[in-house]
Structure 1
Amino acid sequence: MKTINFGIDLGTTNSLIAKYENGLLEVFKNPIGQKQTLASAVAFRGSRILVGDKARDLLEKDPLNVFTCFKRKMGTTDRYFAKSINKDVSPIELSAYVLKELKNFIHTGEELHEAVITIPSSFDTIQSNATKTAGQEAGFKKVYLLQEPIAASLAFANKNNLELNETKKWLIYDFGGGTFDVALLEINEREMNVLDNEGDNFLGGMDIDNLIIEKLLVPKLEPILNETKLWDKFKEPNNPLQKLYFELLFRAEEAKKELSRFETTEIDIDYPEKDIYTSIEVTRDGFNNLLAPLVEHTINFCKKILNNNNLISTDIEKIIMVGGSTLIPYVREQVEKNLNIIIDTSVDPTAAVGIGAAYYAGSKISALKPEDIKPPTTNQTEVSTSTQPLVNLIFEKNTKDTEELLAFKLNSSLQGFYRVIRKDGGFDTGLVTLQDNVNVFVDLLEGQVNSFSLKIYNSNQDVVYTNNDIHINQGKYNIQGQLLPNDICLEIDDIQYNVTRLEAIFNKNSVLPLKKTIYKSASKTILKDSDDKLQINIVEGDGNGLPSSGLSIGYIEITGKELEQDLIKGTDIELNISVSESRDIDVDIFLTSCDQEFSNSFKPTERYISNSKMENEIRVVTQKIEREIAKPENAENYELLQKFKNIEHALIELQIELSLLVDNDITDAKFKIDNQKRSLIQKYDLLTRHKELDNDIEEYKNNVLAVKQVLAESGSEYYMAELNKVIANEKTFINSGNKYLIRSKIEELRVIRNAIFTADDSNFIGPFFHYKTLDNYPDQQKANILIAEGDKALENKQYKVVKQVVYQLASMLPDDKPKTSFNNQDKTGLS
């Protein structure tokens, strides 16, 4: 079987392509200049398109036709206007140009049809799909995505040829040109697993460059240029000072590199358009002060990942530093000082991600079929027999040993033979007499993927089973699956509270790929040929959070006009949902009452961000916070009040930032604000959710106690068993943070308690006396007749009659609950 072999780091500032095959690693160099990295820059010059360093060199001369850092806008609707060609170009198109140029680095003459492309671990599904689309536009038939911290860890582990005797934990600290990621890994002598990851898609080296301009250069340039609000003017589209901005950006990046080696540097500014020739001194102390909040932000992510996994610094062996921004001494110093963990800088921070992608690609079997590349020349039908249930097969996919155990067990009795052959013919067991359980050690070629075939023959030596999918990667670490960075949820109706809520289908940090079948009920009747709708909304975000705090990544709407029969309320709806390793989401829906199927594959590549919508969301949450602060029960909870005020203050700051943004702002400021806004809303949701959660947990515990007290009196073994079923795994569901799960447990306890109560008719004596005292029956005459009947039954100890009277009196009382209704158009139709 063919392996993919080629890995690509599609970076914000620089990109790289490498190959790993049969134990050999090669980082391809640019034929022009022999650099191993390619600047992620594209320039349009009339009929010419320049990619790489040549494009970046034109930034100062022709800024309106040169584009960089477009990775930060992947998955958005933003476009870049290229004046030279009078056309808008998308981040996907620009990324495709970079990928095409990287393909030209390959001097071996190979034609690339597939590759592994890296993405930040915090990329959402839309950003991931945008990256895959860029690869397809660059000519790849198949694109496989790999999270950047995973790639970096593979580069480190395989470069150092680690020999581990015990399990270790590492943090991968990836501070690149445009994004920040941190991943928690566990590694032993055989395999590597990712346990968790966090990150910020809008935090990187370019933010440092812009801080130098905004905070250090602009204040000194404004009086020289006789300008005010110079920084705001830089952000305006087609501003006349754009050329100056790009010169400053170039100088800021150079100064950043200089200050990594020296205590001071001079930034020379040459701007002949206004006859400006000046020099501004920048000190390392001043630079470090600028950096401090950004670095603190990255350290907080590291602390969060430790806290979430109940770890402390001493549990981590080392922090592996990758990404160009980790070359800054202050970054390394602060990370080591604040986390008190040894940092490791032995891997090339600018090449690690691309090299790791190549290692991964060299061990990943291609899913590309010959007909995907060119039409088949003969009419052949491929028959796969590897899925036959005859054999249960076990083997290690990754090993440091030069031989490995391949074990299999027959599921049915068979007389015959087996044979194991290595693809290159260097290992062959020959025909061996078959047994029910077989253990065979196979020899491995070092430093490569070894492919074997297993064939089973009957006593006549006819092949009855073949498996060609046995692949063992020798000598190099590989990852045991990528993690899902966020919950994938379904929006459903919460009938009890007249709202919609999220229900997690796949939880964050589940290992991809994933597949699940779930069953829901129709929460409303949808008549055939009507305009009513069943809405299937797949959301990426916190499964315990508000639907509005997540990101909608797929939406299926089924109207009554598409139904062949009425969809009846309460009938089953079957959903089969799968997420591929590269985050494609497929949904199949089966409506049992209509006997109809609907399917969709979600591969969204863009999302639109509205400033006015963000302002409204911020305003709504700040108003909610004000109401929380004003509640009497919170008056003396000073810690909680301070948390609310901190969130409110941060939201107001974002609101001010939004109001100051110019129309058609060309920066990625609105995307940063959207990220921060969503994070703050999640924090608010978490605070209020915890309050409700605490109340629900207390109510649950009170109900458990009440049921136990009733059981102590009744001694029912049946209901004791029912109680034990409800409270099984109590610690797990209480710590889940899922209020809906806990509320369902409360309801189950109420059912048990009610069942125990109603099993003994004499228990209704007390309720009967209660209902006798009430005087708010709409039909008091009928109530009096029932009460008299109850008195007589009580006198004769006819407790079953008393029970029936209580039920009738209860049904006569007016419903004091508000009659709220759920707008039929707002309901999803699922519950």
Structure 2
Amino acid sequence: MKTVNFGIDLGTTNSLIAKYENGLLEVFKNPIGQKQTLASAVAFRGSRILVGDKARDLLEKDPLNVFTCFKRKMGTTDRYFAKSINKDVSPIELSAYVLKELKNFIHTGEELHEAVITIPSSFDTIQSNATKTAGQQAGFKEVYLLQEPIAASLAFANKNNLELSDTKKWLIYDFGGGTFDVALLEINQREMNVLDNEGDNFLGGMDIDNLIIEKLLVPKLEPILNETKLLDKFKEPNNPLQKLYFELLFRAEEAKKELSRFETTEIDIDYPDKDIYTSVEVSRADFNNLLAPLVEHTINFSKKILNNNNLANTDVEKIIMVGGSTLIPYVREQVQNNLKIAIDTSVDPTAAVGIGAAYYAGTKISTLKQEKISQPTSTTTAATSEKQPLVNLIFEKNTKDAEELIAFTLHKPTQGFYRITRKDGGYDTGLVTLENNVNVFVDLLEGQVNTFNLKIYNTQQEVLFSTDDIHINQGKYNIQGQLLPNDICLEIDDIQYSVTRLEAIFNKNTVLPLKKTIYKSASKTILKDSDEKLQINIVEGDGNGLPSSGLSIGYIEITGKQLEQDLIKGTDIELNISVSESRDIDVDIFLTSCDQEFSNSFKPTERYISSSKMENEIRVVTQKIEQEKAKPEYAENYELLQKFKTIEHALIELQIQLTLLADTDVTDAKFKIDNEKRSLIQQFDLLTRHKELDNDIEEYKTSVLAVKQSLSENNSEYYTAQFNKVIANEKSFINSGNKYLIRSKIEELRVIRNAIFTADESNFIGPFFHYKTLDNYPDQQKANMLIAEGDKALENKQYKVLKQVVYQLASMLPDDTPKTSFNNQDKTGLS
């Protein structure tokens, strides 16, 4: 089997391509200039397209035709207008140009049909699909995505030839040019696994450069240029001051590097258009003050990942620092001082991700269709001849040893032979007499993936079973699957609370790929040929959060006009949902009452950000915060009130930023605001959820005690078994934080208690006396007749009749349930 071999770090500021094959690693250099990295920049000059350093060098002279940092807008509808070609270009197209240029680094003459391309671990599904699409536009037939912290960890582990005697935990702290990621890893002598990750797609070195301009340079330049709101004018398209802005970006980046080595630096500013030549002195202390909030943000992410996994800092052996921004001394100092964990800077922070991608690619089996080799007509396999495979195979996928065990057992006694061969022909057992249990140590080639073929023959040496899927990676660490960075959820109707809510289908940190079949009920009737809709909305976000805090990544709408029969309320709806390793989503829907199937495959590459929608969402949440703050139970809970106020003030600040944001703004400001808004809404939801959760847990515990009391009086084995089934794994679902799951348990306990109660009809004596005292029956005459009938039944001990009287009296009472506006139009149609 062929391995992919080529890995690409598609970075915000710089990109890199490397290859790992047969134990050899090669980082390719640009044929022009012999640099390992390629600037992620594209320039349009008439009919010419320049990519890399040449494009970046034109930024000062021709900023309207040069584009950088477009990775931050991957997965959005934003476009860049290139004046030279009079055309809009997308972030996907610009990324494809960079990938095509990286192909030119390959001097071996081989064609690249597939590659591993890295993405930040916090990239959502839409951003991931956009990256994959860029690879396809660059000419790759197959693109495999790899999260950047995983790539960095592979680079570190494989570079250092680790000899571990026990299991260790590491943090990968990846502070790059445009994004920040932190991942928690577990590693031992054989394998490495990612346990959790967090990150921010809008936090990187370019934000530091912009802070230098905003906080240190603009205040000095405004009086010299006799300008106000200079920062806003820098961002306006076609404004002559844009040239100055891009010059300042160069100077800011240079100053950042200088201040990583020296205590002070001079930033020279040259603006011939207004005959201005000046310089600004910046000290390392000023620079560190600017950095402080950004670095604190990264440290908070690191603390969060430790807290979420119930780890102390002493449980983590080291923090591996990667990404260009970790070269700044202040970053390293603050991370070590705050987290109290030793930091490791032994890998090249600018190349680690690309090198790790190559290691991964060197062990990744290609999925491209190879030319099929015809088999003898007498050959059959387990897959074609019988439902159950003939063989159960066991082998280690990763090893540091020079030989490894391949073991297999036969599912039924078979006489004949087996043969194991290595793909390169360097190992061959020959024909060996078959036994029911076989253990064979095979020789391995060092530092590469060893592929073996196993064949099983009958006594006439006809092939009964054959497989080439035995791949053993020798000498290098690999990762067994990537983690889902967020819950993948389904939006459903919560009829009890008259809202829609999210239900997690796949949980965060589950290993991809994933597949599941779930069954829901229709929460409304949709008549054939009507305009009513069934809405299947797949959302990426916190499964316990509000639907508005998530990101819709797949939407199917089925109207009455598409139905061949009526969709009846309460009937089953079957959904088969799968997520590939590269985050493609497939949804198959079967409507039982209509006997119809609907399918869709989602590979969304763009999402639209509406400023007005964001403002409305912020306004709704701030109103909810005000309502929470006004509740009497919080009057003296100063800590919680302060948390509410902090979130509210942050939301109001975002609202102000949105108001001040010009319609023509070409930066990624609105995406950063949207990112921050979603995070704040999640924080608010978490605070209120805990309050509701505490109430639900208390109600659950009360319900458990009530059922136990009923069981002590009833002593029914059947209901005891039902009760034990409900409370099984109690600790797990109470600690899940899922209020809907706990409420479902409360409802199940209520059903059991009611069943126990109604099983003994004499229990209805008490409720009967209660209903006799009420005087709010709309039809009092009918109620009096029923009460008289109940008195008679009680006198004659006819408890079955008394039970029916109680039911009828209860049904006559007025409905005090408040009316809601949760009508059919608000419902998804699923419950």
**What TM-score range do you get, normalising by the shorter chain?**
over 0.9
Q: Report the CA distance between 1:446 and its aligned residue.
A: 0.5
Partner of 2:531: 531
Q: Report the CA distance between 1:380 and its aligned residue.
A: 13
Partner of 1:697: 697
For the residue of structure 1 that corresponds to 2:784, the secondary structure is helix
2:246 and 2:380 map into 1 onto residues whose CA distance is: 57
2:225 and 2:816 map into 1 onto residues whose CA distance is: 72
Given that residues 417 and 431 in structure 1 are in contact (C-alpha distance below 8 angstroms), is that contact kept between their aligned partners in structure 2?
Answer: yes
Q: Deviations over 1:323-354 (max 9, x none)?
A: 00000000000000000000000000000000
Partner of 1:338: 338
Q: Deviations over 1:193-238 (max 9, x none)?
A: 0000000000000000000011011111111111111112112122
Aligned-pair identity (%):
90
TM-score, L = length of structure 2: 0.98
Given that residues 74 and 91 in structure 2 are in contact (C-alpha distance below 8 angstroms), is that contact kept between their aligned partners in structure 1?
Answer: yes
CA root-mean-square deviation:
1.6
TM-score, L = length of structure 1: 0.98
1:780 and 1:384 map into 2 onto residues whose CA distance is: 81
Partner of 1:661: 661
Deviates more, 1:626-635 or 1:777-786: 777-786
Partner of 1:485: 485
**Within 5 Å, which residues of 2 pair with 1:68-147?**
68-147=68-147
Q: Report the CA distance between 1:384 and its aligned residue.
A: 9.3
- The answer to whether the aligner puts 1:796 opposite 2:790 as a matched pair is no
**Within 5 Å, which residues of 2 pair with 1:280-319?**
280-319=280-319
Partner of 2:610: 610
For the residue of structure 1 that corresponds to 2:485, the secondary structure is coil
Q: Deviations over 1:768-801 (max 9, x none)?
A: 1111111112222222122112212222222222
Q: Deviations over 1:650-688 (max 9, x none)?
A: 001111111111122111111110000000001111111
**Within 5 Å, which residues of 2 pair with 1:555-704?**
555-704=555-704
For the residue of structure 2 that corresponds to 1:228, the secondary structure is coil
In structure 2, stretches of 5+ residues that fail to align are none
1:387 and 1:692 map into 2 onto residues whose CA distance is: 52
Instruction: Output the amino acid matched with 1:62.
Output: D
- The answer to whether the aligner puts 1:784 opposite 2:817 as a matched pair is no
Partner of 2:160: 160
Q: Report the CA distance between 1:386 and its aligned residue.
A: 6.8
- The answer to whether the aligner puts 1:188 opposite 2:210 as a matched pair is no
2:658 and 2:483 map into 1 onto residues whose CA distance is: 34
For the residue of structure 2 that corresponds to 1:155, the secondary structure is helix
Partner of 1:733: 733
Q: Deviations over 1:575-628 (max 9, x none)?
A: 111111111111111122222221111001000101111111111111111111
Partner of 1:513: 513
2:484 and 2:226 map into 1 onto residues whose CA distance is: 52
Relative distance call for 1:255 and 1:385 in structure 2 (3 A) is farther
2:476 and 2:280 map into 1 onto residues whose CA distance is: 50
Relative distance call for 1:379 and 1:274 in structure 2 (3 A) is farther
Given that residues 380 and 464 in structure 2 are in contact (C-alpha distance below 8 angstroms), is that contact kept between their aligned partners in structure 1?
Answer: no
Partner of 1:220: 220
Instruction: Output the amino acid matched with 1:84.
Output: S
Given that residues 382 and 390 in structure 2 are in contact (C-alpha distance below 8 angstroms), is that contact kept between their aligned partners in structure 1?
Answer: no
Instruction: Output the amino acid matched with 2:435.
Output: Q
Instruction: Output the amino acid matched with 1:713.
Output: E
Relative distance call for 1:571 and 1:380 in structure 2 (3 A) is farther
Partner of 1:41: 41
Q: Report the CA distance between 1:823 and its aligned residue.
A: 2.2
1:271 and 1:607 map into 2 onto residues whose CA distance is: 38
1:104 and 1:439 map into 2 onto residues whose CA distance is: 47
Q: Report the CA distance between 1:530 and its aligned residue.
A: 2.0
2:607 and 2:656 map into 1 onto residues whose CA distance is: 23
Partner of 2:58: 58
Given that residues 386 and 469 in structure 1 are in contact (C-alpha distance below 8 angstroms), is that contact kept between their aligned partners in structure 2?
Answer: no
Given that residues 82 and 88 in structure 1 are in contact (C-alpha distance below 8 angstroms), is that contact kept between their aligned partners in structure 2?
Answer: yes
2:488 and 2:169 map into 1 onto residues whose CA distance is: 27
- The answer to whether the aligner puts 1:208 opposite 2:208 as a matched pair is yes
Given that residues 386 and 467 in structure 1 are in contact (C-alpha distance below 8 angstroms), is that contact kept between their aligned partners in structure 2?
Answer: no
Deviates more, 1:596-605 or 1:290-299: 596-605
Given that residues 521 and 572 in structure 1 are in contact (C-alpha distance below 8 angstroms), is that contact kept between their aligned partners in structure 2?
Answer: yes
For the residue of structure 2 that corresponds to 1:606, the secondary structure is coil
Instruction: Output the amino acid matched with 1:341.
Output: I
1:547 and 1:573 map into 2 onto residues whose CA distance is: 21
Q: Deviations over 1:69-112 (max 9, x none)?
A: 00000000111111111111110000000000000000000100
Instruction: Output the amino acid matched with 2:161.
Output: N
1:566 and 1:803 map into 2 onto residues whose CA distance is: 38
Q: Report the CA distance between 1:557 and its aligned residue.
A: 1.2
Q: Report the CA distance between 1:67 and its aligned residue.
A: 0.5
Q: Report the CA distance between 1:821 and its aligned residue.
A: 5.4
Given that residues 380 and 465 in structure 2 are in contact (C-alpha distance below 8 angstroms), is that contact kept between their aligned partners in structure 1?
Answer: no
Instruction: Output the amino acid matched with 1:518.
Output: I
For the residue of structure 2 that corresponds to 1:71, the secondary structure is helix
Instruction: Output the amino acid matched with 2:656.
Output: I
1:292 and 1:173 map into 2 onto residues whose CA distance is: 16
For the residue of structure 2 that corresponds to 1:427, the secondary structure is coil
Given that residues 382 and 464 in structure 2 are in contact (C-alpha distance below 8 angstroms), is that contact kept between their aligned partners in structure 1?
Answer: no
Partner of 1:460: 460
Q: Deviations over 1:168-190 (max 9, x none)?
A: 00000000000000000000000
Given that residues 386 and 468 in structure 1 are in contact (C-alpha distance below 8 angstroms), is that contact kept between their aligned partners in structure 2?
Answer: no
Relative distance call for 1:658 and 1:36 in structure 2 (3 A) is same
2:413 and 2:591 map into 1 onto residues whose CA distance is: 41
Given that residues 42 and 51 in structure 2 are in contact (C-alpha distance below 8 angstroms), is that contact kept between their aligned partners in structure 1?
Answer: yes
Instruction: Output the amino acid matched with 1:502.
Output: L
Partner of 2:264: 264
2:279 and 2:436 map into 1 onto residues whose CA distance is: 82
2:394 and 2:578 map into 1 onto residues whose CA distance is: 25
For the residue of structure 1 that corresponds to 2:583, the secondary structure is coil
- The answer to whether the aligner puts 1:503 opposite 2:485 as a matched pair is no
For the residue of structure 2 that corresponds to 1:197, the secondary structure is strand
Q: Report the CA distance between 1:387 and its aligned residue.
A: 4.4
Given that residues 39 and 53 in structure 2 are in contact (C-alpha distance below 8 angstroms), is that contact kept between their aligned partners in structure 1?
Answer: yes
For the residue of structure 1 that corresponds to 2:765, the secondary structure is helix
Given that residues 120 and 179 in structure 1 are in contact (C-alpha distance below 8 angstroms), is that contact kept between their aligned partners in structure 2?
Answer: yes
Partner of 2:355: 355
Q: Report the CA distance between 1:646 and its aligned residue.
A: 0.5
Partner of 1:769: 769
For the residue of structure 2 that corresponds to 1:649, the secondary structure is helix
Instruction: Output the amino acid matched with 1:265.
Output: T
Instruction: Output the amino acid matched with 1:524.
Output: K
1:533 and 1:595 map into 2 onto residues whose CA distance is: 17
Relative distance call for 1:256 and 1:592 in structure 2 (3 A) is same
In structure 1, stretches of 5+ residues that fail to align are none
Given that residues 453 and 467 in structure 1 are in contact (C-alpha distance below 8 angstroms), is that contact kept between their aligned partners in structure 2?
Answer: yes
Relative distance call for 1:384 and 1:222 in structure 2 (3 A) is farther
Instruction: Output the amino acid matched with 1:825.
Output: Q
Relative distance call for 1:342 and 1:139 in structure 2 (3 A) is same
Instruction: Output the amino acid matched with 1:632.
Output: P
Instruction: Output the amino acid matched with 1:233.
Output: K
Matched residue count: 827
1:384 and 1:333 map into 2 onto residues whose CA distance is: 63
Given that residues 29 and 35 in structure 1 are in contact (C-alpha distance below 8 angstroms), is that contact kept between their aligned partners in structure 2?
Answer: yes
For the residue of structure 1 that corresponds to 2:97, the secondary structure is helix
Deviates more, 1:58-67 or 1:772-781: 772-781
Partner of 1:416: 416
For the residue of structure 2 that corresponds to 1:319, the secondary structure is strand
**Within 5 Å, which residues of 2 pair with 1:714-753?**
714-753=714-753
Instruction: Output the amino acid matched with 2:561.
Output: K
2:780 and 2:564 map into 1 onto residues whose CA distance is: 50
Given that residues 5 and 362 in structure 1 are in contact (C-alpha distance below 8 angstroms), is that contact kept between their aligned partners in structure 2?
Answer: yes
For the residue of structure 1 that corresponds to 2:505, the secondary structure is strand
